[in-house]
Structure 1
Amino acid sequence: MPQDRFRQAAKERRLLFNAWLTFNAPFLIELIGEAGWDCITIDQQHGLGGNEALVGCLTAARACGLPAIVRVAENDAGLIGRALDAGAQGIMCPLIETVEDADAFVRAVKFPPRGLRSWGPYRARLDYDGDYFTTANGFTIACPQIETKGALDALDEILGLEGVDMVCFGPNDISVALTGRLDIWAPEVKEARELVLRKCREFDVMALIFANDVDYAKPLVAEGWDVVAVGTDAGWFSKAAAETRRAATT
Structure 2
Amino acid sequence: MQMPHNAFKAGLRQGASQYGIWAGFATGYAAEIVASTGYDWMLIDGEHAPNTVPSVLNQLQAVAPYSTAPVVRAVNGDANLIKQLLDIGAQTLMIPMVETAEQAQALVRAMRYPPHGIRGVGGGLTRATRWDGVDNYLNTAHQELCLIVQVESRLGVDNVEAIAAVEGVDAVFIGPADLSIGLGHAGNPSHPEVQERIQHAVNATLAAGKACGILAPNEEDARRYQAWGCRFIAVAIDISLLRQSALSTLARYRPAADAKAPSRTY
- Same-fold status (TM-score > 0.5): yes
Partner of 1:13: 15
Please give the secondary structure, in 1, of the residue aligned with 2:183.
Answer: helix
Please state if 1:216 is matched with 2:221: yes
Counterpart of 2:260? none
The answer to whether residue 175 in structure 2 is matched with residue 170 in structure 1 is yes
Question: Whole-Å Cα distance in 1 between the matches of residues 187 and 242 of structure 2?
Answer: 23
Change (3 A) 1:243 1:163: same
Query: Is 1:134 paired with 2:129?
Result: no
2:110 and 2:117 in contact (8 A); partners too: yes
Q: TM-score, normalised by structure 2?
A: 0.87
The answer (yes or no) to whether the contact 1:21–1:40 under 8 Å persists in 2 is yes
- Please give the residue correspondences for 1:1-250 in structure 2 after superposition, counting only pairs within 5 Å: 1-120=3-122, 122-126=126-130, 129-249=134-254
8 Å CA contact 1:85, 1:120 repeated in 2: yes
- Which consecutive residues of structure 1, in runs of 5 or more, have no partner in the other structure? none
Q: CA deviation at 1:249?
A: 4.5
Total equivalences in the alignment: 250
Per the normalisation by structure 1, the TM-score is 0.92
**Correspondence for 2:259:** none
Secondary structure of the equivalent of 2:36? helix
> Which structure is larger by alpha-carbon Rg, 1 or 2?
2
What code does the residue aligned with 1:210 have?
Answer: L
- Is the contact between residue 99 and residue 151 of structure 1 (CA under 8 Å) also seen in structure 2? no
C-alpha distance in structure 2 between counterparts of 1:194 and 1:73, whole Å: 26
Instruction: Give secondary structure in 2 for the equivalent of 1:63.
Output: coil
Q: Residue 6 of structure 1: CA displacement? A: 2.4
Q: 1:42-85: CA deviations, max 9, x gaps?
A: 11110023122111011112122332221111120111111111
CA–CA distance in structure 1, aligned partners of residues 12 and 95 of structure 2: 20
How much does 1:33 deviate? 2.3
Displacement, 1:129? 4.5
1:186, distance to aligned residue in structure 2 (A): 1.1
CA contact (8 A) 1:70 1:92 kept: yes
CA contact (8 A) 1:179 1:188 kept: no
Return closer, same or farther for 1:166/1:10 CA change in 2, 3 Å cut-off: same
* Structure 2 SS opposite 1:217: helix
How far apart, CA to CA, are the structure 1 residues paired with 2:10 and 2:104?
24
In structure 2, how many angstroms separate the alpha carbons of the residues matched to 1:201 and 1:94? Answer: 19
Amino acid at match of 2:241: W
The residue matched to 1:119 in structure 2 has which SS? coil
Change (3 A) 1:126 1:17: farther
The answer (yes or no) to whether the contact 2:23–2:34 under 8 Å persists in 1 is: no
Answer 1 or 2: which has greater helix percent. Answer: 1
Aligned-CA RMSD value? 2.0
Residues 146 and 167, structure 1, Cα contact 8 Å, conserved in 2: yes
Write out per-residue CA displacement over residues 160-218 of structure 1, whole angstroms, 9 at most, x where no aligned residue.
11111111100111111123422110112211222222222221212121114333222
What amino acid is aligned across from residue 58 of structure 2 in structure 1? Answer: G
Paired amino acid for 1:193:
I
Q: Conserved in 1, the CA contact under 8 Å of 2:92 and 2:148?
A: yes
